[in-house]
């Protein structure tokens, strides 16, 4: 691997075809709405922050073999990161409790894909809860990982409002357990998934790592903020190298079925109704999974003492445009049910990625429409085949329900005629 930050290439071979694509523009998409005075102020702030980031001592990327503990390694981002590490020659130790937050069929497939491709010697799999002190201590004692990529978490803003306790247990307790073990076993670098949710209802045009994030609007966001604080404490007390990565709405092949990108593609493709919360003007910084994985690996390779990095695309897409792209690439018209805004949701997210660009050499490559096209392609070629029998059963059940309703109405008419 080239030691130059500017020229370092860590893109996954799985997405090698994207290398020839030009990088998306990082122009400020909301700048037109700013007054001339605020534009000048924002420009000065940009220049100041660029100088600050540039003054931070850069950490050269660690080259050579690594054994990386990947928590949540059966999930969407975790399995994609594990595959990238394996492809470049590293070994992985996956810890995943395989919970039923969503259908585990895809998780099982992810594990099968990794083990069958790279073998059990290079892919160790432990089906375990990261909160289990005894089990996790044994795993660290047996495997002795020097690099930790902590992707396991209970995700979801809306579910966290309904059941906050499980988020405190899985996210806060689990992360604390891993930080303690990483300190005890001398881990060289601890990289973990935070979230753009920590920005809450920020009024900023772009979310910067230097913003105050003391006002989370959901238990999920609060749990991620807490993890960042705990991580800093372990760095301060024990000099543990830590990077917290604030992900911005990750999507792509093998994506979580509870997330809007997958749900919209799935339901629009099958002629099902989708729920649109709000008037469609809300926007998200949707980031393709290969770009996120690139940022994760760059952070793993650079053991900064303590840093927080935004990992996003750097521009937002409105919900209306999002639905239009899905319609275009599924060749189906969406059936939309407009719903009120949801509590805990933020109106827009957009990452200021200058810090990650300067210190990690990170820059997203996949434009949103291209990412939707690739995800639809995966959905048609792989997901539908995997779940073909399930969809057939659903159609049969729906047909029977329709027939029963029709029979009931006909019976009612006959009885009324007497």
Active-site residues, by number, are 220
Q: Which residues contact 286 (CB under 8 A, 6 or more apart)?
A: 248, 249, 251, 261, 313, 317, 322, 368, 371
With CA atoms as reference, report the closest residue to 346 among 418, 403, 283.
283
Are the C-beta atoms of 78 and 111 separated by less than 8 Å?
Answer: no
Burial 115-143 (b: 16+ CB within 10 A, else e): eeebeeebbbbbebbbbeeeebeebbeeb
- Helix, strand, coil percent values for the chain (each to nearest 5): 50, 15, 35
Question: Residue 393 contacts by C-beta under 8 Å, 6 or more apart in sequence?
Answer: none
Rounded to the nearest angstrom, the gap between the alpha carbon of residue 405 and the centroid of all alpha carbons in its chain is 42
Instruction: Please state the φ and ψ torsions of residue 223, each to the nearest 5 degrees.
Output: -65, -40
Among 101, 103, 209, residue whose Cα is nearest residue 158: 101
Cα(252)–Cα(271) distance, integer angstroms: 21
């Amino acid at each position: 691997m080239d030691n130059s930050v500017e020229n370092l290439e860590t893109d996954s071979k799985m997405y090698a075809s994207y290398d020839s694509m030009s990088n998306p523009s990082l122009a400020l998409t909301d700048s037109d709405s700013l007054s001339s005075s605020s534009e000048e102020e924002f420009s000065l702030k940009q220049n100041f922050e660029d100088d600050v980031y540039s003054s931070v001592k850069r950490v050269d990327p660690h080259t050579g073999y690594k054994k990386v503990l990947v928590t949540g390694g059966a999930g969407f981002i975790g399995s994609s990161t594990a595959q990238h590490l394996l492809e470049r020659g590293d070994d992985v130790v996956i810890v995943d409790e395989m919970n039923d937050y969503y259908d585990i069929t895809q998780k099982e497939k992810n594990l099968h894909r990794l083990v069958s491709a790279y073998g059990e010697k290079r892919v160790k799999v432990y089906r375990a809860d990261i909160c289990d002190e005894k089990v996790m201590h044994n795993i660290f004692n047996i495997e002795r990982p020097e690099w930790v990529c902590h992707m396991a978490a209970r995700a979801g803003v809306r579910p966290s409002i309904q059941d906050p306790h499980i988020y405190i247990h899985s996210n806060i307790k689990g992360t604390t357990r891993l930080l303690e073990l990483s300190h005890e076993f001398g881990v060289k670098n601890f990289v973990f998934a935070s979230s753009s949710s920590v920005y809450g209802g920020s009024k900023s045009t772009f979310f910067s790592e230097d913003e105050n994030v003391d006002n989370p609007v959901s238990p999920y966001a609060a749990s991620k903020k807490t993890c960042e604080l705990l991580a800093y404490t372990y760095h301060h007390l024990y000099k543990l190298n830590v990077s917290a990565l604030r992900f911005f709405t990750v999507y792509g092949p093998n994506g979580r079925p509870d997330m809007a990108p997958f749900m919209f593609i799935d339901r629009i493709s099958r002629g099902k109704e989708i729920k649109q919360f709000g008037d469609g003007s809300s926007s998200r910084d949707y980031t393709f999974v290969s770009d996120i994985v690139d940022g994760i690996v760059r952070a793993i390779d650079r053991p900064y003492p303590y840093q927080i990095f935004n990992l996003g695309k750097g521009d937002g897409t409105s919900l209306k445009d999002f639905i239009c792209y899905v319609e275009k690439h599924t060749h189906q018209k969406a059936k939309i049910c407009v719903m009120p805004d949801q509590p805990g949701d933020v109106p827009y997210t957009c990452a200021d990625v200058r810090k990650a660009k300067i210190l990690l050499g990170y820059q997203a490559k996949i434009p949103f429409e291209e990412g939707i096209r690739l995800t639809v392609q995966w959905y048609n070629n792989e997901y539908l085949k995997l779940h073909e029998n399930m969809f057939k059963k659903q159609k049969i059940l729906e047909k029977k329900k329709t027939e029963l309703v029709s029979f009931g109405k006909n019976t009612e008419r006959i009885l009324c005629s007497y």
